[in-house]
Amino acid sequence: MCVTHQEKHNRLISPKKTKTQREKEREMATTTTEATKTSSTNGEDQKQSQNLRHQEVGHKSLLQSDDLYQYILETSVYPREPESMKELREVTAKHPWNIMTTSADEGQFLNMLIKLVNAKNTMEIGVYTGYSLLATALALPEDGKILAMDVNRENYELGLPIIEKAGVAHKIDFREGPALPVLDEIVADEKNHGTYDFIFVDADKDNYINYHKRLIDLVKIGGVIGYDNTLWNGSVVAPPDAPMRKYVRYYRDFVLELNKALAADPRIEICMLPVGDGITICRRIS
């Protein structure tokens, strides 16, 4: 179907969705890889086989060597991982939607980043079982705050006992439901503008641009917004007809559109990092 530029623009800025977020979560967690096209040479077959093995290991690292990724985890991440985060990671690994969790190396990165920027008032859009939320809460000072939003309280409550045992639940204000109405309410009060030190977004990719339009007013100058999954399984460089999972193909154009928008936004400095599934760090400068 031919889509005009204006129609495409409207589709991107409108919060209207064709599926509920829970349906998207189930699709993302349960969809299997589409059949790959037959290669013409043995070399291509071997390369395709290696890529599929890497894809199905269960982690979201973009490194082409599983051994190298394991080296990073065992050398740098796991020895320093707080016991509560390890416990929550292991609990989440048993959940049928575990592909949605933040990777352990990204959790470590977020924890350090929050300390580096001395964040105190923070926000997280997309919580799942709370691994990245716990990483944030542990990094914040005792009086730090996190406004956490997710459409599924049941998943959050899976990790809540661990968060409570870690002694950081008092820092979290969890809101169940879509984030956009909450953001609109917050943005409407100008007293909230420029009051957030750090914001992490790992939610519905088709609303990332809608989130950015609102979050840029809420984060302070010098504050940081982190957008997760901005390399989207590596699909951002794949040809349109490349074999990919249905949920990857569905969100791919939205991720590409976000990346273009962030690169062109003069209000921020950006740094795109191949941590986890790709994370883009945005520092507001005006």
Task: Check if CATH label 3.40.50.150 holds for domain 62-284.
Answer: yes
Q: Could you give the residue ranges of the DSSP H alpha helices within 120-170?
A: 131-139, 153-165
Compute the residue count for the chain. 286
| Tens-level pLDDT at each residue, the chain (286 residues) | 433 334 333 433 334 444 445 455 555 554 433 433 333 344 454 444 444 434 433 356 778 789 999 999 999 999 999 999 999 999 999 999 999 999 999 999 999 999 999 999 999 999 999 999 999 999 999 999 999 999 999 999 999 999 999 999 999 999 999 999 999 999 999 999 999 999 999 999 999 999 999 999 999 999 999 999 999 999 999 998 999 999 999 999 999 999 999 999 999 999 999 999 999 999 999 9
pLDDT for 59 equals 54
Question: CA torsion sign, 74 to 77 to 79 to 85?
Answer: negative
pLDDT of res. 10: 40
DSSP per position, 190-213: GGGTT-EEEEEE-S-GGGHHHHHH
Residue 244: partners with Cβ closer than 8 Å, 6 or more residues away: 33, 34, 233, 235, 238, 252
Output the pLDDT for position 61: 74
Can you give the pLDDT at residue 17? 41
Nearest CA among 64, 103, 68, 61 for reference residue 85: 103
Task: Look up residue 45 and give its two tokens.
Answer: 């077959």
pLDDT tens for each residue of 171-211: 999 999 999 999 999 999 999 999 999 999 999 999 999 99
User: What's the pLDDT at 39?
Assistant: 38
Which positions ≥6 away from 175 have C-beta within 8 Å? 147, 148, 149, 182
In Å, what is the CA distance from 136 to each residue of 50, 57, 172, 246?
Answer: 35, 26, 10, 31
Task: Supply the pLDDT for residue 64.
Answer: 76
pTM of the model: 0.81
So what's the pLDDT on residue 57?
A: 31
- Cβ count within 10 A of residue 202: 25
